[in-house]
């Protein structure tokens, strides 16, 4: 069984360093071979690509732009009336993905509009999302890119987020029916919404193009105190034959590098993936 491949989410890790290029360097020095970044758009794509190259990292995931964060937007994929802005954001994401050699783009669904009732707008939002996803799948396929759907928990993190369970995301993927759209499984969100991780990992892993991890409920390192038994979950992902990346999207409880003991001990135990795997 191949060991898991881990990716440093530099939007979360290495907050000790200002700016993404410095964080990428820190990730490379810590032994990572891959990195992901939520929103790279404040940096020039060429500068970011150079920083990743110099750090010996490949970029494996970026998100579509959030929209107008001042107005409380967090993605636009399912937001009625924002279709044009979603498509513009998608073009920007594709531009960055190409410049960065990044194969995956998380297509953010966005939030139920302020003041609207979730149940009342659910079907309209799903219709908008399906249209946008069909469009996105075509645009991404032209560049051999994969689009990802990530359910985000609505109990703690984002009460108004539209896409919040693996079941909802899988049903939408089935309706769109495009092979280059896949599921992004953040075990932090999945545990909070549904638990039943062993069953859900086994059921949904065939649809999964990317995994992310953090402890529950504090969202710290996998070995920080909390509900999740990561040695078991990592073993389960290996046993089920997962070959994608596992993104470290957590909030370091102290110094990022000191907090990577869990990863160093995983590498000591399981070895590291061979380059190119």
Catalytic residues: 150, 249
Greatest Cα pair distance in the chain: 52
3-state secondary structure labels for all residues of the chain? CCCCEEEEECCCCCCCCCCHHHHHHHHHHCCCCEEEECCCCCCCHHHHHHHHHHCCCEEEEEECCCCCHHHCCCECCCCCCCHHHHHHHHHHHHHHHHHHCCCEEECCECECCCCCCHHHHHHHHHHHHHHHHHHHHHHHHHCCCEEEECCCCCCCCCCCECCCCHHHHHHHHHHHCCCCEEEEEEHHHHHHHCCCHHHHHHHHHHHEEEEEECCCCCCCCCCCCCCCCHHHHHHHHHHCCCCCEEEECCCCCCCCCHHHHHHHHHHHHHCCCCCCC
Bridge partners, residue 203, by sequence: none
Distances (CA, A) of 66 to 7, 111, 213, 225, 236: 22, 10, 21, 31, 33
CA distance 32 to 39: 20
In this structure, the chain runs to a length of 277
Which residue is listed with tokens 């109990």?
155
């Amino acid at each position: 069984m191949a060991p898991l491949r881990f990716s440093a989410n530099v939007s979360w890790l290495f907050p000790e360093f200002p700016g993404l290029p410095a964080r990428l360097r820190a990730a490379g020095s810590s032994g990572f071979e891959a990195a992901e970044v939520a929103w790279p758009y404040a940096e020039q794509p060429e500068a970011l690509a150079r920083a990743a190259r110099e750090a010996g990292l490949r970029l494996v995931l970026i998100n579509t732009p959030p929209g107008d964060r001042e107005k409380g937007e967090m993605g636009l994929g399912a937001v009625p009336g924002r279709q044009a802005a979603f498509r513009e954001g998608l073009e920007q994401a594709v531009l960055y993905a190409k410049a960065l050699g990044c194969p995956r783009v998380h297509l953010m669904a966005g939030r139920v509009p302020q003041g609207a009732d979730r149940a009342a707008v659910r079907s309209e939002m799903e219709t908008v999302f399906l249209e946008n996803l069909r469009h996105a799948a075509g645009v991404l396929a032209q560049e051999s890119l994969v689009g990802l759907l990530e359910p985000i928990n609505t109990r703690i993190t984002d009460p108004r987020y539209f896409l919040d369970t693996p079941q909802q995301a899988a049903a939408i993927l089935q309706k769109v029916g495009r092979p280059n759209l896949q599921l992004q499984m953040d075990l932090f969100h999945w545990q909070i919404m549904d638990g039943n991780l062993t069953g859900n990992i086994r059921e949904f892993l065939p649809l999964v193009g990317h995994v992310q991890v953090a402890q529950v409920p504090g969202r710290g390192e996998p070995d920080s105190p909390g509900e999740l038994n990561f040695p078991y979950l990592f073993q389960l992902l290996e046993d089920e034959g997962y070959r994608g990346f596992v993104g470290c999207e957590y909030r370091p409880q102290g110094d990022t590098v000191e907090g990577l003991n869990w990863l160093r001990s995983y590498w000591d135990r399981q070895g590291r993936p061979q380059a190119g795997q």
